[in-house]
Amino acid sequence: MDEMHGPLIELSYGTSSHGMMAGTGSSASSSVKWKKDGTVIYRSSSMSSYGQTSSEYKVKPEVAQKLRDFVAEKHLAELTKEDISLPMACDNFTSASISMTFDDSSIGGDPYESCFLNCGMAGGTFGSLEKKVKEILDECRETGEFISGEDTGNGFPNLIAGKEGMSFFEMAKSMYDPSGGMKQEPDHKPQEQRSVKKKAPGPQWTCACGETMNTGKFCINCGQSRPADPTIWTCRCGTENKGNFCAGCGSRKPE
């Protein structure tokens, strides 16, 4: 005889990936909840070493009713009470579960009666049930009205912190190139440095405006040009000099 329950008020399908290395696991869940005011809400969330995301939609009641009909048709609540042997898994695998909450107050029971179905490895023993539940949940989201969403980026704490806060998985991934094998560090050869000759400052001169000392062709205080000085000569390198040799390149003063 089937176990009696009141109306289904929430259903959630969740998966959890188990990696061999710390920090490589992830989890995801999708749920539909019937609120007391008659509205139906779809929620999804996922969490991994890369961060956490979530979204929320207002669901059409006629689409959400498909979940209630499926739960009743397949007797999922009764299935949770059976002792079902599940195959053991090792190494990398993804487990799945379906949880249901019923309002049994109308039949003298708990208003939040929970039933949990451990599906074992995702797509395994209960693969056909999982597939149908996921299809209906996806339809609830696709036909629903978007309410809110959030993406926390790298908010999920990394279990093994690497360079610049990267998880172990991200750090290992960054070390390999798509063609396989370790990435080779580029062979950085020091660039040949060209010697740049700096112009030597020209001879100092005092402007008529005061005590300002200048080395260029114009006074930095008033802008007057430097008076002509027959002893000053300009080298072919552009340096102005006094004396027989250029202060910039060492060339001899032309005759």
Could you read off the pLDDT of 156-181 as tens digits, one per residue?
343 333 333 344 444 444 544 444 44
Together in a domain, 213 and 104: no
Euclidean distance between CA atoms 186 and 157, whole angstroms: 32
Together in a domain, 38 and 138: yes
Residue for token digits 């279990």? 159
Euclidean distance between CA atoms 149 and 157, whole angstroms: 20
Together in a domain, 114 and 209: no
Together in a domain, 14 and 55: yes
Do 182 and 191 touch, CB atoms closer than 8 A? no
Do 229 and 213 touch, CB atoms closer than 8 A? no
The model's pLDDT over 185-204, given as tens digits with 9 standing for 90+, comes to 455 444 444 444 445 556 67
Euclidean distance between CA atoms 66 and 40, whole angstroms: 13
Does residue 69 fall inside a structural domain? Answer: yes
Does residue 182 fall inside a structural domain? Answer: no
Q: Which of 128, 159, 174 is the last residue of a domain?
A: 174
Higher pLDDT, 82 or 204: 82
Together in a domain, 147 and 62: yes
Q: Domain range holding 110?
A: 8-174
Q: Are strands 145-151 and 113-121 parallel, antiparallel or unpaired?
A: unpaired
Together in a domain, 47 and 166: yes
Question: Count of residues for the chain?
Answer: 255
Taking 90 as the threshold, does the pLDDT of residue 73 lie above it?
yes
Together in a domain, 145 and 248: no
Euclidean distance between CA atoms 51 and 167, whole angstroms: 11
Express as a percent the part of the chain with pLDDT over 70.
74
Q: Are strands 26-34 and 51-59 parallel, antiparallel or unpaired?
A: unpaired
Together in a domain, 164 and 49: yes
All residues at 6 or more sequence positions from 61 whose CB lies less than 8 Å from its CB, including other chains: 38, 40
Q: What's the total number of domains in the chain?
A: 2
Higher pLDDT, 250 or 95: 95
Q: Are strands 213-214 and 205-206 parallel, antiparallel or unpaired?
A: antiparallel
Does residue 191 fall inside a structural domain? Answer: no
Look at residues 35, 32, 38 and name the one whose alpha carbon lies nearest to residue 56. Answer: 32
Together in a domain, 63 and 131: yes
Predicted pLDDT at 207: 79
What percent of the chain is helix, strand and coil (3-state, nearest 5)?
Answer: 20, 30, 50
Predicted pLDDT at 126: 92
Q: Six-digit token pair at 37?
A: 């005011």
Does residue 2 fall inside a structural domain? Answer: no
Euclidean distance between CA atoms 224 and 104, whole angstroms: 99
The model's pLDDT over 129-138, given as tens digits with 9 standing for 90+, comes to 999 999 999 9
| DSSP SS3 for 86 | coil
Together in a domain, 141 and 213: no
The answer, as to whether pTM is greater than 0.75, is no
* 26 band by pLDDT with thresholds 50, 70 and 90: confident
Does residue 185 fall inside a structural domain? Answer: no
Q: Please, how many CA atoms are within 13 Å of residue 175, restricted to the half-sphere of its CB?
A: 10
Taking 90 as the threshold, does the pLDDT of residue 51 lie above it?
no
Do 158 and 167 touch, CB atoms closer than 8 A? yes
Together in a domain, 155 and 203: no
Does residue 189 fall inside a structural domain? Answer: no
Mean pLDDT, rounded, for 68-75: 95
Does residue 129 fall inside a structural domain? Answer: yes
Together in a domain, 136 and 220: no
Predicted pLDDT at 173: 46
Predicted pLDDT at 90: 64
Does residue 28 fall inside a structural domain? Answer: yes
For the ranges 154-163, 179-188, 207-216, 228-237, which has the lowest average pLDDT?
Answer: 154-163
Euclidean distance between CA atoms 68 and 175, whole angstroms: 48
* 222 band by pLDDT with thresholds 50, 70 and 90: confident
Euclidean distance between CA atoms 33 and 61, whole angstroms: 11
